[in-house]
A and B are shown apart, each in its own frame.
Chain A
Amino acid sequence: MLVFNQLETYLYLALILFAIGLYGVLARRNLIAVLISVELILNAAMLNFMAFNRFLAPHPAVGQIIALFIMAVAAAEASIALSIIIAVYRKLKAINVEQATELRG
């Protein structure tokens, strides 16, 4: 049994990607870096779907369709998030979540 023909390999890989992305969301303060980490988390979810699709699912087309839907939603989310980041930068002159504040004190 080769290592790339086992379900668990892909699950652990997706888990590593998810943990790295979660660390990025929690630790980074640059808004764009947070968005990059969210993309990593979405990719981990997509890898899980594709792995289950390859090894368990009754019909192999369904998981691929769901992966395509995830990609489309991720593209929409990225475009909205980037436009919000640019608007925030224009208004507050910072994209660091600790510096981009309006209230003083």
Chain B
Amino acid sequence: MRGVLGIFPQLDAAVDAVEDLKHQRLGDVTVYTPTPRHELEHAIHAPASPVRRFTLIGGLLGATFGYWIAIWSSDYWPLVVGGKAIASWIPYTVFGFEMMVLIGGLSTVAGLFINARVPRLTAVVGYDRRFSHGDFGVYVEAAPNQIQAAEQLMRKHGAVEVRGER
């Protein structure tokens, strides 16, 4: 999809451009920022991240696995001590907890990678090395007949550079 990329040195200029692009419905907007800024989050109106579901499911699976491996091993290779339970949930909570953290943590990272679409091994449109430095970028995927309007809008809001990307 073809689009327009605007580079803004000032945060408020980028925020205004995003709000205007959203208002005029010129296309999907992607913002690049050297650090997370809540002003841009408000302007983008993005839905809540689903990473939390990965965390929850991973944590539950991990806790289940931790208890299961300890109980199953104890039952299959029993160490019999008179008067003591073969499988005891109190010490096995250590395994349940540690596996919950381990699997839950790694699932969280998997959730990040899947949702953020990283690792990204190919070159992508709409990125400029200035975005990791100090400038803000606004990229809008626009239909060919709206490219010019998008470029004008970016310039109006103070973009120091506007270029077409495809």
| Pair from one complex | no
B contacts, CB < 8 Å to A: none
